[in-house]
Amino acid sequence: MQVQKFSTLPYTRPDYAAAQQKLRELTEQAEHAADYAALKAVVKERNALTAIGQPAYLLPTRQRQSCRRICTDEAEFV
C-alpha cells in the first residue's frame, strides 16, 4: 500500500486556490450590488472555503470584513 503525503498547508491544494479566487470575485460583485442572491453566494463560498480547511479568520482583511457585514445583513433578512 502506497502512502500519499499531503501538505499541512491548505493553500497548496488546488481546490483551495480555486475557491479563494471564486470567493474574491463574488465578494467584489457583492460589494457593488445590493442583490440578496449575490450576498448568499458569497456566504456559501465563504463556508465552502472554511470547509476545505481555511478558517474564515485567516481570510484577507477585506474579505473578512465583507463576510462579517454580509453575515450581519443576512441575519437581518431572516
Residue 39 falls within a domain, yes or no?
A: yes
Lookup: cell for 74 = 443576512
Residue 66 falls within a domain, yes or no?
A: yes
Residue 8 falls within a domain, yes or no?
A: no
Whether the full predicted model's pTM is greater than 0.85, yes or no, is no
Tens-place pLDDT, residues 3-61: 555 545 555 556 777 777 888 887 777 666 666 776 777 777 777 776 665 555 555 55
Domain that holds residue 26: 14-77
Residue 4 falls within a domain, yes or no?
A: no
Distance CA 40, CA 6 (A): 32
Residue 1 falls within a domain, yes or no?
A: no
Quickly list DSSP for 6-32.
--S-GGGSHHHHHHHHHHHHHHHHHHH
Asked whether residue 73 carries a pLDDT value surpassing 70, the answer given is: no
Q: Given pLDDT bands bounded at 50, 70 and 90, which one contains residue 72? A: low
